[in-house]
Amino acid sequence: MAEIREVKKVERRASIHSHIKGLGLDEKGKAKLVADGLVGQVQAREAAGIVVELVRKGKMSGRGILFVGPSGTGKTALAFAIAKELGEDTPFSAINASEIYSTEVKKTEVLTQAVRKSIGIRVRQKRQVYEGVVKDVKVKIARSRANPMAVVPREAELTLATKDEQKTIQVGDLVASQLYKYNVKKGDVIWIDAETGDVVKTGRAKGVEGVKYYDIESTKYVEVPSGPVKKEKEIVNTLTLSDIDLNLAAQNIGFGILSSLFGGEVNQDVRQQTDKLVSKMLKENSAELVPGVLFIDDAHMLDVEAFSFLTKALEAELSPILILATNRGITKIRGTDVESPHGIPIDLLDRLLIIPTRPYDQEEIREILKIRAEELDVELTQESIEELTNLGTSTSLRYISELLEPLQVIAERSGRSAITPEDIKEAVKLFADVRTSTKFAKEYESLLLK
Ligand SMILES: Nc1ncnc2c1ncn2[C@@H]1O[C@H](COP(=O)(O)OP(=O)(O)OP(=O)(O)O)[C@@H](O)[C@H]1O
Ligand SMILES: [Mg+2]
């Protein structure tokens, strides 16, 4: 019998942009020098702030932005900051231009899917729900019928209260398993869709009797709802066209089987069905359009076909907001012999607002370094901050950011928690920056594989 081992999920502690929480602007849209994890790059941040406002006002659809600047100047970081500012209700999908070259799926298919993930519609629905703060919850666990080794929630008794009423309800396994999964406990404010049984946790209520509160809790606090426990509630959902495509495809079993034969491509008929449905809902005012953002990083990697696809997509009735980023100057448009600024055809460039990002000075590098070190939980002495800042100025911000974790290993091996200048000397010997490695490659040219 095959051995089944439990695979431990690896939690990536910090990704390369995880320190960025937003654009760091004040109410007037002016950039604070250091805020939300961003340092300097003031003009680009303020420009990005204006873009966010236009997106929110629905004035950006069918238009685009291009971030242009040298490598490591924060173009990708700014695009992520824009996504954070827009919030979860605005669809934002990000791809790297190189992802369109897959052997299984056509380029235009990858782009079509990305575009459809970036266009949302907001649907308001009136639903019957049970809503209130949890006064008591008892989940009954039983052995699973399918797998006698496992236990599953079978049913639950739940007491919900509003400011005006208290009600105890019995729920079946569908709701019970969600209560269990979301760890719903006394003091949580939740609502349950009376028809579908979906459970949604909205937050925690303060001052509920018999509930233990901690000084630091990651959940947000909300008001206890008023009125009856069972009531009609308006629920707002933002779905992307791609969500609807997948839903329709799944409903239509025939399509489901066929589309799995086509290797990850969504059937065109399903898309037409979606578009019809959406335009009907928009006409009847039962839904509103939410133009989201499609971010394509390293846009110079797109080829001429991809560019004309995108230009056309911007002109369509349902179109996303396009954000591109590139670090190339004048270069050939991929797939042609034509040179163009940033490798992008002029007719598309004409529709884009360009936001330049500039190289950082020493002061800014020092601040970004400190933020990254804190995010990664890496301790630096005052001297090593200076040493790394100088190194960053002569090499690149990327290089010193990448060195932080190896440096921590080197320090720990010598039994220290903080990184010292000696550790930096050691790390520089072990890991080369781009310039050093190019020099090395030239020196040993004849020995390296071609
Ligand atoms: N202004 C800034 N404030 C804080 N962190 C920054 C800032 N600019 C860049 N960073 C961080 O520095 C690193 C490099 O930036 P980023 O990846 O955004 O560069 P890029 O302009 O996209 O470069 P490339 O052209 O090579 O793709 C990332 O970890 C990023 O989060
Ligand atoms: Mg980038």
- Of all protein residues, the one whose alpha carbon is nearest to atom 24 of ligand 1 is 71
pTM for this predicted structure: 0.75
For residues 224 and 309, membership in a common domain is answered with no
For residues 270 and 306, membership in a common domain is answered with no
Contact between 158 and 104 under an 8 Å Cβ cutoff? The reply is: no
What is the CB neighbour count within 10 angstroms for residue 128? 12
For residues 166 and 228, membership in a common domain is answered with yes
* Structural domain for 68, as ranges: 34-109+292-356
Total domains present in the chain: 4
For residues 231 and 140, membership in a common domain is answered with yes
- Of all protein residues, the one whose alpha carbon is nearest to atom 19 of ligand 1 is 72
Residue 2 lies in a domain: no
For residue 245, how far is its CA from the centre of ligand 2 (angstroms)? 30
Nearest atom of ligand 1 to the alpha carbon of 326: 25
Which ligand has the minimum distance to the alpha carbon of residue 70?
1
Residue 450 lies in a domain: no
Contact between 136 and 208 under an 8 Å Cβ cutoff? The reply is: no
16 lines ligand 1 (CB under 6 A): yes
> 296 forms bridges with which residues in the sheet?
95, 324
For residues 228 and 143, membership in a common domain is answered with yes
Residue 347 lies in a domain: yes
Task: Give residue 317's pLDDT.
Answer: 81
Out of 73, 298, 396, mutate this one to test ligand 1's pocket (max ligand atoms within 8 Å of CB): namely: 73
For residues 44 and 145, membership in a common domain is answered with no
For residue 327, how far is its CA from the centre of ligand 2 (angstroms)? 8
CATH code for the domain of 77: 3.40.50.300
Task: Give residue 203's pLDDT.
Answer: 87
Nearest atom of ligand 1 to the alpha carbon of 70: 25
For residues 399 and 340, membership in a common domain is answered with no
Half-sphere CA count of 307, side-chain side, radius 13 A: 23
Residue 9 lies in a domain: no
Nearest atom of ligand 1 to the alpha carbon of 357: 21
Nearest atom of ligand 1 to the alpha carbon of 73: 21
113 lines ligand 1 (CB under 6 A): no
What span, in angstroms and rounded, lies between the C-alpha atoms of 272 and 112? 13
Which ligand has the minimum distance to the alpha carbon of residue 326?
1
Nearest atom of ligand 1 to the alpha carbon of 298: 27
From first to last of the 450 residues of the chain, give the pLDDT tens digit.
Answer: 444 454 444 444 567 788 888 999 999 999 988 889 899 999 999 999 999 998 888 888 778 999 999 988 999 999 999 988 988 788 889 999 999 998 788 899 999 999 999 999 988 888 899 999 999 999 898 887 778 788 888 899 999 999 999 999 999 989 999 998 888 999 999 999 998 888 988 888 887 777 777 766 667 788 899 999 999 988 888 889 988 888 887 766 554 444 444 445 567 788 888 889 898 988 988 888 888 889 999 999 999 999 999 999 988 888 888 999 999 999 999 999 999 999 999 999 988 999 999 999 999 999 999 999 998 889 999 999 999 999 999 988 989 999 999 999 999 998 998 999 999 999 998 998 877 777 877 887 777 776
Q: From 249, 283, 317, give the residue that closes a domain.
A: 283
186 lines ligand 1 (CB under 6 A): no
For residues 229 and 268, membership in a common domain is answered with no
From the list 435, 443, 384, the residue with the least C-alpha distance to 71 is 435
24 lines ligand 1 (CB under 6 A): no
Which ligand has the minimum distance to the alpha carbon of residue 22?
1
For residue 212, how far is its CA from the centre of ligand 2 (angstroms)? 45
For residues 209 and 302, membership in a common domain is answered with no
- Of all protein residues, the one whose alpha carbon is nearest to atom 4 of ligand 1 is 38
Q: From 333, 356, 379, give the residue that closes a domain.
A: 356
17 lines ligand 1 (CB under 6 A): yes
For residue 398, how far is its CA from the centre of ligand 1 (angstroms)? 8
153 lines ligand 1 (CB under 6 A): no
Contact between 85 and 29 under an 8 Å Cβ cutoff? The reply is: no
The protein residues having their C-beta less than 5 angstroms from ligand 2 (an ion) are 76
For residues 433 and 375, membership in a common domain is answered with yes
Greatest CA separation for the chain: 83
Contact between 114 and 294 under an 8 Å Cβ cutoff? The reply is: yes
Q: Residue by residue, what is the 3-state secondary structure of the chain?
A: CCCCCCCCCCCCCCCCCCCCCCCCECCCCCECCEECCEECCHHHHHHHHHHHHHHHCCCCCCCEEEEECCCCCCHHHHHHHHHHHHCCCCCEEEEEHHHHCCCCCCHHHHHHHHHHHCEEEEEEEEEEEEEEEEEEEEEEEEECCCCCCCEEEEEEEEEEECCCCEEEEEECHHHHHHHHHCCCCCCEEEEEECCCCCEEEEEECCCCCCCCCCCCCCCCECCCCCCCCEEEEEEEEEEEHHHHHHHHHHHCHHHHHHHHHCCCCCCHHHHHHHHHHHHHHHHCCCEEEEECEEEEECHHHCEHHHHHHHHHHHHCCCCCEEEEEECCCEEECECCCCEEECCCCHHHHCCEEEEECCCCCHHHHHHHHHHHHHHCCCEECHHHHHHHHHHHHHCCHHHHHHHHHHHHHHHHHCCCCEECHHHHHHHHHHCCCHHHHHHHHHHCHHHCCC
What span, in angstroms and rounded, lies between the C-alpha atoms of 421 and 409? 14
Q: From 315, 340, 356, give the residue that closes a domain.
A: 356
74 lines ligand 1 (CB under 6 A): yes
Out of 17, 32, 323, 342, mutate this one to test ligand 1's pocket (max ligand atoms within 8 Å of CB): namely: 17
96 lines ligand 1 (CB under 6 A): no
38 lines ligand 1 (CB under 6 A): yes
For residue 125, give both structure tokens.
């629905």
| Total count of residues recorded for the chain | 450
Task: Give residue 380's pLDDT.
Answer: 93
Residue 299 lies in a domain: yes
Measured CA distances, 34 to 25, 114, 234 (Å): 10, 33, 40
What span, in angstroms and rounded, lies between the C-alpha atoms of 19 and 10? 19
Which ligand has the minimum distance to the alpha carbon of residue 397?
1
For residues 376 and 393, membership in a common domain is answered with yes
What span, in angstroms and rounded, lies between the C-alpha atoms of 377 and 379? 6
Residue 4 lies in a domain: no
118 lines ligand 1 (CB under 6 A): no
For residue 96, how far is its CA from the centre of ligand 2 (angstroms)? 9
Half-sphere CA count of 23, side-chain side, radius 13 A: 27
- Report CA torsion sign: 325, 326, 330, 333: negative
327 lines ligand 1 (CB under 6 A): yes
What span, in angstroms and rounded, lies between the C-alpha atoms of 374 and 381? 12
Contact between 305 and 108 under an 8 Å Cβ cutoff? The reply is: yes
From the list 66, 59, 51, 72, the residue with the least C-alpha distance to 395 is 72
Contact between 148 and 101 under an 8 Å Cβ cutoff? The reply is: no
Write the single-letter amino acid at 171: V
Residue 12 lies in a domain: no
For residues 330 and 367, membership in a common domain is answered with no
Task: Give residue 252's pLDDT.
Answer: 66
